[in-house]
Amino acid sequence: MKSEASRTRVTGQIKWVLAGFCLLSMLSAQAESKLRSPWDGHPVKATNAAYTCPAVVHLSPDLTTSGFYSDSKASVIDPEKWKAYTASAGPYKELGNRIVDAADAYRTTGSSAALDCAIQHMEAAAKDGVFTGKMSSSQAYYVQGWTIGAIAIAYLKVRDSGAISAAQQETILHWMTQVISQSQDYFDTRRKSSTGDSQNNHLYWAGVEVAAAGIAANDRKLFDWGMETYHIGIAEIQPDGSLPQEMRRGQRALHYHLYALAPLVYLAEFGEDNGLHAYAERDYAIQKLATLCIQGLEDTSFFVKAAGIAQDTPNGPPAAEQISWGKVYIARFPNPQLAKLLAQATSMSYMYLGGLPPG
């Protein structure tokens, strides 16, 4: 017969084996868990609400367009360059508008017609291979990223509807990840050579694009690439909340601080939804940036002094481009000054961020 000590050792060994098995099972489940978005877990009840769906427009895989600033600080818009830019990039950005508008109509009204419209336009763009060809310039890559990022967010808004067939899902996600790989290659190359847009707002916007597509495709590598841009952006925030790369933009320094903050807030949300304490990074450094931007919308004196020039400011209430991020941010960090600005805004829908913010 086994001694009491022997039986105790065997029992202990079994417990350790079982504990190890449970730990491995838990880690395996975590590794296989589905990446989440702020729209997951908030089902929409389908309705017969009417929705007028624009006709599908077939666009080229290539995009030929150029920048529109006339000065070295990229702060003064050249009217002729702007006209050429809007003519060449406009149809591609309109594709993004049509898809996010339809996705938001579905989220807000439950319209099955709007849902079908969003899916129809995504599938058509995927089959046409829009943005999978040659991008003629840095500006073309930016338009590519803004638009595919918006579409990726729109996809997240409708993916739990049950209306996307397996074939449509495969077509759309394959297209998205194909386009995303171009953005990654572009910015990875720029980062290796320490080029200007490798650490500024453009990189953070690329992060939103890639992270959103990563969540849509449940691709952890894409998601991690996107979140890495968040770490880079947060590391840029100075003790006073400013961003050196954006302060160099002369009369548009305030504009570009706001423009950099928006994607960082969305990346923080994506991180929080997937178990990362993103807002807390560097002792909540993002709050310093947000506070500076909120104050700047009411009093530009800090930016005037730091940039050495009067600032471009909103003509009237803040536009969605400048303030829609606040709808997400204020849910976590109540702020009376921000609440006032949000109440003044006439719209929260910003195509670059996929239309209406979550919540």
Locate 5 and state its tokens. 């000590």
Q: Look at residue 148 and give its three-state secondary structure.
A: helix
Q: List, for residues 205-245, the tens digit of each pLDDT value.
A: 999 999 999 999 999 999 999 999 999 999 999 999 999 99
Q: What is the pLDDT of residue 193?
A: 80
What residues contact 207, with CB distance under 8 A and at least 6 apart?
A: 225, 226, 227, 228, 229, 230, 233, 263, 267
pLDDT at 22: 42
Tell me which residue of 317, 199, 307 sits closest to 253, measured CA to CA: 307
Q: Which of 122, 150, 128 is nearest to 58 (CA)?
A: 128
- Distance in angstroms (rounded) separating the CA atoms of residues 281 and 290: 14
- The CA distance from 145 to 211, in Å, is 12
State residue 295's pLDDT score.
97
Sign of CA dihedral 287, 272, 143, 153: negative
Rounded to whole angstroms, how far apart are CA atoms 217 and 220? Answer: 9
**Can you point out the beta strands (E) in 72-180?**
none
Q: Which residue type occupies 251? A: Q
Can you give the pLDDT at residue 316? 85
The parts of the chain modelled with pLDDT lower than 50 are 1-2, 5, 7-31
How confident is the model at residue 196, as a pLDDT? 64
Amino acid at 340: K
Q: What is the pTM of this model?
A: 0.90
Give residue-wise pLDDT tens across range 85-133.
Answer: 999 999 999 999 999 999 999 999 999 999 999 999 999 999 999 999 9
**Separation of alpha carbons 337 and 324, rounded Å:** 14
